[in-house]
Amino acid sequence: MRSLLISALVSIGCTDATIAPEELSGLDQSVTVCATGSTIKGIDVSVFQGTIDWPKVKADGVVYAIIRVSDGLNTPDSKFAANWANSRAAGVIHGAYQFFEPSQDPIAQADMMLAKTGPLKPDDLPPMIDVEVTDGLAPAAVAAAVKKWIAHVKAKTGRDPIVYTGFYFWGDNVGGANVLPSPLFHAQYTTAACPNIATPWTTWAFWQYTSSGAINGIAGNVDVDRFNGTKAQLLAMLGPPGSCGDGTCSAGESTVSCPEDCGPCATIETAGGELDDSEACFEGGGPATYMRQVTDAGEKGGLTWTHATADATEYNYGTWNLYFATAGHYKLEVYTAAAYAQSKLAKYVVHAGDPTAQLADQAAVVDQSAADGWQTVGEYDFAAGGHQYVHLGDNTGETAATNTQLVFDAIRLTLTGANYDGSGSDAAPGNRAGCDATGSSGGALTFGLVLGLAAFRRRRC
């Protein structure tokens, strides 16, 4: 494979490339982006790895592999067919990549790759474009060719292709082109804990952090990668996009994203029920380092807490995913343990009602320090079924300097009135009773909330 200019990235699958020490340690670390929690081990391979013993690779803890199809149109990878079939047989999740030649027809290159892989199967990651040479073209021309490849592959597969590149190469040679929402496969060989990535991305999905890895079943060095997420998040990227409601729990669907096909993570029965932060319906987000689990307090002997911030966007958060046996008007309560609950501005966002309707998320601010036990958030109309939730972010408005602790613990729902039919005919789904956290009639603030994470920044441990 190819060596790389110092201003660019090292080539994927290019374990014969020579990397100067300054390339490893001299990269600008001013825009570092850390993993959101634990990462998952993978590799990327090509003909340069020779014949691979895939069962040994899997036994060495490799969960996924990205396999080269070709270098442009003229150099198909002679090991692709064997690697593609044998990785699948060994139970290794796999995806295909193409070393992109910008001067060649991008549609023809994409079609060549798609012909080699065939339609996406349940254990296939989205195709990946490896962008690391210009072929002498200007940044605008490289960007235009890359975008054509991406658009064509997405139209054929229904998935956003992955983009492999590096910080300097993308900025200098592709002009920082915006190809979102394609996920980033970042290349940077370093011993640093967190890489620095190219704009427009604010996070990375994969990080190729070394070209000199040692993996059982592979003779010589191999590129080793990290996936930024949980196993469930990796699985959600697999296969053709599922059609929720078709009766099949397809790759990419889960008990949260499609309870209709996969079954719910838990069911709130007609009379009501509890969901704890230790259970499957709770999802904590953001860097796991800052989501502390303790076992000396909490409704069920434990809770999760983080520090509140005054940032414009949330960094860590918790979501309780809800699935109701029947529609109804329910009181929502949250458990706050005085040993850890300090936030006076905890903003609980409730997404309730018919998921097919245009619903405005609603929020109620709770003083978590006001009670050691259950506190009322409000009363809401919930529809039967799922795609409803309670969400709490760390950006309460309380500054990091105060070290204010925000807790995520159990929530409780109790039926309080006649069943809401989910049609929206009686009242707009939401906090009809206008209850605030103290049970008064002041009303909860209603607003539309756009959920998501901004670029990560360093914060207090």
CB neighbour burial string for 163-173, b if at least 16 within 10 angstroms, e if fewer: bbbbbbbbbbb
* 245 pLDDT tier (thresholds 50, 70, 90): confident
- Residue 19 in this model has a pLDDT that exceeds 90: no
Say what percent of the chain tops pLDDT 70: 82
- At 405 the pLDDT is 98
Is residue 5 over pLDDT 50? no
311 is catalytic: no
pLDDT at 12 over 70: no
Q: Which of 39-43, 100-104, 331-335, 422-426 has the lowest mean pLDDT?
A: 422-426
Topology adopted by domain 260-415 = Jelly Rolls (2.60.120)
Q: Which of 198, 133, 190, 124 is nearest to 166 (CA)?
A: 198
- 248 pLDDT band, cuts 50/70/90, is confident
Least confident of 59-73, 99-113, 426-440: 426-440
Q: How far apart are CA 409 and CA 12, in angstroms?
A: 43
At 252 the pLDDT is: 62
132 is catalytic: yes
pLDDT for 156 equals: 92
Q: What is the pLDDT of residue 53?
A: 98
Strand order of the sheet with strand 292-294?
292-294, 303-307, 405-408
Distances (CA, A) of 311 to 196, 307, 308: 21, 12, 9
Domains 21-235 and 260-415 share a fold: no
Residue 231, helix vs strand vs coil: helix
| Strands 222-228 and 39-45, sheet pairing | antiparallel
Q: Which residue has the higher pLDDT, 163 or 245?
A: 163
Active-site option among 71, 77, 101, 130: 130
The token pair that represents 427 in the structure block: 């009242």
Indicate which residue of 77, 124, 132, 277 is catalytic: 132
Give pLDDT, residue 268. 97
Rounded-to-integer distance, Cα 289 and Cα 316, Å: 10
Residue type, 310: A
Mean pLDDT confidence for 13-32: 39
CB atoms within 10 A of CB 396: 22
Average pLDDT over residues 398-408: 97
Cβ–Cβ under 8 Å, residues 385 and 323: yes
Tens of pLDDT, residues 34-62: 998 889 999 999 999 999 999 999 999 99
**pLDDT of the residue at 92:** 95
Residue 440 pLDDT more than 80?
no
d(CA 118, CA 123): 13
Torsion sign (Cα): 252, 258, 261, 267 = positive
Query: Looking at residue 419, what is its pLDDT?
Result: 56
Burial of 6 (0-12, 13-18, 19+ CB in 10 A): exposed
The mean-pLDDT minimum among 23-32, 333-342, 411-420 falls in 23-32
Domains of the chain by residue range: 21-235, 260-415
Two tokens at 337? 């343990």
Query: What one-character DSSP code corresponds to residue 461?
Result: -
Average pLDDT of span 399-414 = 97
What pLDDT does 427 receive? Answer: 36
pLDDT at position 448: 35
Task: Say what the pLDDT of residue 158 is.
Answer: 86
Is residue 354 annotated as part of the catalytic site, yes or no?
A: no
Dihedrals phi, psi of 402, to nearest 5 degrees? -80, -15
55 vs 438, which has greater pLDDT? 55
CATH: 3.40.30.10, 3.50.50.60, 3.20.20.80, 3.30.420.10. Which one for 21-235?
3.20.20.80
pLDDT digits (tens, 9 = 90+) for 121-173: 888 999 999 999 999 999 999 999 999 999 999 999 888 999 999 999 999 99
| Mean pLDDT within 70-76 | 97
Q: Which pLDDT score, from 0 to 100, does residue 24 have?
A: 34
Name the average pLDDT for the chain. 84
pLDDT at 286: 73
Which of 64-68, 121-125, 223-227 comes out lowest in average pLDDT? 121-125
425: pLDDT strictly greater than 60: no
Q: How far apart are CA 40 and CA 125, in angstroms?
A: 14
pTM, two decimal places: 0.55
Residue 378 region by backbone torsions, left for phi larger than 0, else alpha for psi between -120 and 50, else beta: left
Cis ω on the peptide bond leading into residue 181 (within 30° of 0)? yes
> Per 3-state DSSP, what percentage of the chain is helix, strand, and coil (rounded to 5)?
20, 30, 55
For position 254, what pLDDT does the model report? 78
Q: What pLDDT sits at residue 420?
A: 54
pLDDT value, residue 251 = 61
